[in-house]
Amino acid sequence: MLGFATSFLLWTAAHAVPTIKSSLTVKVRNGTYIGAHLSAYNQDLFLGIPYAQQPVGNLRFTVPQSLNTSWDGTRDAKEYSDICVGYGTDSIWYPRSEACLTLNVIRGSSTGNDSKLPVGVWIHGGGFYQGSGADERYNMSEIVANSYKIDKPFIAVTLNYRLSAWGFLASSQISGSGNTNLGLRDQRLALQWVQENIAAFGGDPEKVTIWGESAGAISVGFHLTAFGGRDDKLFRAGIMESGGSIAAQAGNYTSSQADYDEIASKVGCSNMIDSLQCLREVPFEKLNAILNGTDGTSDYNFWPMVDGDIIRNWGSFQLDQHAFVKVPIIAGTNTDEGTAFGPTGINTTDEWYEYLTTGDFNFQTPTAIAKRILNLYPDDPSQGIPAYLGDKRVPSNGYEWRRTSAFAGDWTMHANRRRQCEAWAETSTPAYCYRFNAHSADVPLLSGVTHFEEVSFVFHNIAGQGYHYGKPFAGVPQSNIDLSSMMASMWASFIHNLDPNPGIVNKSVQWDAYSNSKPVDLVLDANNTSHMEADTWRKDEIDFINSVAQAFWR
């Protein structure tokens, strides 16, 4: 458990210690919580609030269960809970346990319990195997404070959900028992808790925006298409940063069976009549030791999969069928996403063709499709990424690295974003689409404008809270900070108004919605003035990927 002062380093660049107001209480359905006051931002914080029964014992590997107890008196909500068990650098900084299904509420102290403010619910990324709602990089204090400053105030919620095998274990046993995609179901139950309780904090349950990046954005995309696009009135808008309803990584329960069987064998559950129940009874330390690799990551990769229930079909099918909740969205990607996802060490066209067709890629690409990819992404470094390199190659990453990285970015992120915006336009639903194009200081120049780089800009995290490997705004020009201020205002304005434009201080920028007659993106750039552009960037390549989506199981 984080200590009291330590737990609040997230909330202030100055590391100010919060003071507690004895009257800072909120009564939710199950009882009354006491939060804490952060004087540096004049904000009230309610941390570590359970939204479900904790998934321990027989509730491990089980669909999350609603809270079923209440209490008299008060309980403290002044510290984060343990985060959900995850494997990787996003998780190693925080205490982890199975008892982790909690959320955090952040509001301005001027907010009355009857204010009925809009609500932004942040769903963290991390590949569905790491991360948390307590990650200091997702510093809500700055963006919430700015929202009040521009008169577009909102209340923020962050949450934890089960990760890796704990949240996405897959097999015939899992599918047959109905305990599929548990991490997504955790998120869904957290959204239900918000519907039932956020009014007590001064929030309006009818004005909830769900919002995430990477796996968090894919989660938002899944909620938009959940149960065949059924509208359960859990949210009125969505924000997707580098992810969406089409998930690039394919998978099914058959393909995961071998991993399930291996895990069951290692803990002595293989020969049990009910291997899933046996796994529930394995001591945490023993099971965690199997899942936790020697390098701090897991040897087993589990991912949300089509289960015929919460995920009824591949995302491309559902977008084509317009089987999604028709609410306004923000959806975007970063120019050089592929430097984070592409292969290294590929030196010839033949090696890349082999990579695509033999299974080193996520699956074996059909021959005709692989050959078309080679043509669309020619052996010409000037057509690769990052563009600033001109016609130079990067032999240390592979002679073909710029070429393969361009494809990787389009395949994992850009094609999915474009199809998302097109589907919204087809149903005349507002979509504000963007391409983020500003390099920050926490990654090498060679990475370009890579995955995750917009996050610090959106959260206006100028101090770099939670960035352990480099500060994104260290030594950058003022234009980067100005862009961050604009983006934080746009996001807050969208959460408040369903339109990113009213809260913008710099009125020289107008973000137009995407439409069939005018498919456009906002290029968010620090070096040049942010501007609208026709959504034709890498058009032939991206359109081809979307045209063969079924072959990619996406």
Separation CA 416–CA 528 (nearest Å)? 26
Judge whether 174 lies within some domain: yes
**Does residue 343 share a domain with residue 269?**
no
One domain for residues 195 and 169: yes
Residue 70 in domain: yes
Confidence (pLDDT) at 15: 35
pLDDT at position 18 is 44
Q: Say whether both 306 and 376 belong to one domain.
A: no
Residue 331 to residues 138, 206, 419, 436: CA-CA distances in angstroms?
18, 21, 10, 11
148: Cβ–Cβ under 8 A, 6 or more apart, which residues? 108, 110
Q: What is the pLDDT of residue 251?
A: 65
Distance between CA atoms of 413 and 332, rounded to whole angstroms? Answer: 9
Q: How far apart are CA 316 and CA 87, in angstroms?
A: 29
- Tell me if the pTM is above 0.75: yes
* CATH code for the domain in which residue 456 is found: 3.40.50.1820
Contact 249, 303 (CB under 8 A): yes
Same domain, 361 and 283: no
Choose the final residue of a domain: 255, 287, 318. Answer: 318
Task: Answer whether residue 301 is part of any domain.
Answer: yes
3-state secondary structure of 184: helix
Please indicate, yes or no, whether residues 65 and 143 belong to a single structural domain of this protein.
Answer: yes
Tell me, yes or no, whether 261 lies in a domain.
yes
Residues 278 and 339 in one domain: no
Q: Check whether residue 405 and residue 433 sit in a common domain.
A: yes
Q: Which of 241, 283, 245 is nearest to 459 (CA)?
A: 241
Q: What is the token pair recorded at 233?
A: 């009135």
Beta bridge partners, 25, equal 34
Say how many C-beta atoms besides its own lie within 10 A of residue 275's C-beta.
20
Q: Which residues pair with 137 in a beta bridge?
A: none
Q: Please check whether residue 141 lies inside any domain of the structure.
A: yes
Coil/strand/helix, residue 94: coil
Give Cα separations from 100 to 52, 159, 301, 384, 427 (angstroms).
Answer: 9, 9, 20, 42, 38
122 and 257 assigned to the same domain? yes
Find, among 234, 241, 254, the residue nearest to 310 by Cα.
Answer: 234
Report the side by side order of strands in the sheet with 329-334.
36-38, 43-50, 102-108, 155-159, 117-123, 203-213, 237-241, 329-334, 431-436, 520-524, 531-534
Do 339 and 309 fall within a single domain? no
Range of the domain at 469: 335-483+509-552
Rounded to whole angstroms, the Cα distance separating 264 from 236 reads: 41
DSSP state of 550: G
Catalytic residues: 214, 337
Residue 190, domain member (yes or no): yes
Q: Say if 458 falls within a structural domain.
A: yes
Contact yes or no for 302/367 (Cβ under 8 A): no
d(CA 234, CA 132): 21
| pLDDT score of 393 | 98
Helices (H), 157-307: 164-168, 172-177, 182-197, 215-229, 253-266, 275-281, 284-291
Nearest-10 Cα torsion for 164, 165, 166, 171: 140
How does 367-399 read in b/e, with b if 16+ C-beta sit within 10 Å? eebbebbbebbeeebebbbbeebeeebbeebbb
Confirm if 35 and 26 have CB atoms less than 8 A apart.
yes
Looking at the fold, whether 365 and 436 belong to one and the same domain comes out as: yes
How far is 553 from 141, CA to CA, in rounded Å?
40
- Indicate the Cα dihedral angle 326, 327, 328, 333, nearest 10°: -70
Chain centroid to CA 40: 28
Instruction: Please indicate, yes or no, whether residues 306 and 345 belong to a single structural domain of this protein.
Output: no
User: Last residue of some domain: 283, 318, 353?
Assistant: 318
CA triple 490-113-81, angle to 5 deg: 75
Give residue 143's pLDDT: 98
Total structural domains within the chain: 2
- Last residue of a domain, which of 285, 318, 351? 318
| Same domain, yes or no: 314 and 340 | no
Q: What pLDDT is recorded for position 551? A: 87
Domain-embedded: residue 491? no
- CA–chain centroid gap for 480, Å, is 23
CB 240 within 8 A of CB 331: yes
Residue 248 DSSP SS3: coil
Per-residue pLDDT of the chain (554 residues; tens, 9 = 90+): 333 333 333 333 333 344 445 449 999 999 999 999 999 999 999 999 999 999 999 999 999 999 999 999 999 999 999 999 999 999 999 999 999 999 999 999 998 888 999 999 999 999 999 999 999 999 899 999 999 999 999 999 999 999 999 999 999 999 999 999 999 999 999 999 999 999 999 999 999 999 999 999 999 999 999 999 999 999 999 999 999 999 977 567 778 999 999 999 999 999 999 999 999 999 999 999 999 987 778 889 899 999 999 999 999 999 999 999 999 999 999 999 999 999 999 999 999 999 999 877 777 899 999 999 999 999 999 999 999 999 999 999 999 999 999 999 999 999 999 999 999 999 999 999 999 999 999 999 999 999 999 999 999 999 999 999 999 999 999 999 999 999 999 999 999 999 999 988 777 899 999 999 999 999 999 877 899 999 999 999 999 999 999 888 88
